[in-house]
Amino acid sequence: MWPRVRPPPFARSPVPSLPRSPRSTLRFVLPLLAALALPAVAAPPAGPDGAAFLAESDAAMTKMMDDMAVKPSGNVDEDFVAMMIPHHQGAIDMAMAELRHGKNEQLRRIAQEIIVDQLQEIAAMRLALGQPLPPSTPAPTRPDPVQPTTQPATQPTPPNHSAHAH
């Protein structure tokens, strides 16, 4: 057998051994969490867009949490959907805040995808329970509605031949 050799100090892990009891785990983890959260809490928002974004996100989170607090109905599936729809709507509301105030095009595209995906999931959950769907509208992936262009008076408006206009 080879003799046990202790590694030199530079080869040892700089991370101390993790605590073994739940109480010592909390004493170990809580200061780390506080240190990680401190910069986010202490840093002021960057300009008026940052303040508006934080206000809108906070309002969306508060509404989401309030709406997710449903009284149990005794039907697990209905309770699940009753909690998940506000959760998904909260994601939509936060994504809209990103579209209104964010500048990073990649994140804005992700926000648009979140909106579309969450709307589809809300519709799928409602359908799974046999609930009616709300009227069909375009996904709100733009922060401000696009203003319709006015047509010159000399051009007649074409008739609506939509399959859904009966």
- Domain membership flag for residue 156: no
- The confidence score (pLDDT) of residue 133 equals 87
- Domain membership flag for residue 99: yes
How many domains would you assign to the chain?
1
- Domain membership flag for residue 16: no
CB 132 within 8 A of CB 123: no
- Using the structure block, give the residue that is written with the tokens 């609930």: 131
| Tens-digit pLDDT profile for residues 47-59 | 777 889 999 999 9
Q: Please count the other Cβ atoms lying within 10 Å of the Cβ belonging to residue 125.
A: 17
Q: Which domain holds residue 92?
A: 45-66+76-130
**Residues with pLDDT less than 70, the chain:** 1-46, 139, 141-166
- Domain membership flag for residue 38: no
- The confidence score (pLDDT) of residue 110 equals 97
Burial 84-113 (b: 16+ CB within 10 A, else e): ebbebbbbbbbbbbbbbbbeeeeebeebbe
- The confidence score (pLDDT) of residue 75 equals 96
- Using the structure block, give the residue that is written with the tokens 């992936």: 141
- Domain membership flag for residue 56: yes
pTM of the shown model: 0.57
CA angle 53, 57, 62 (to 5 degrees): 150
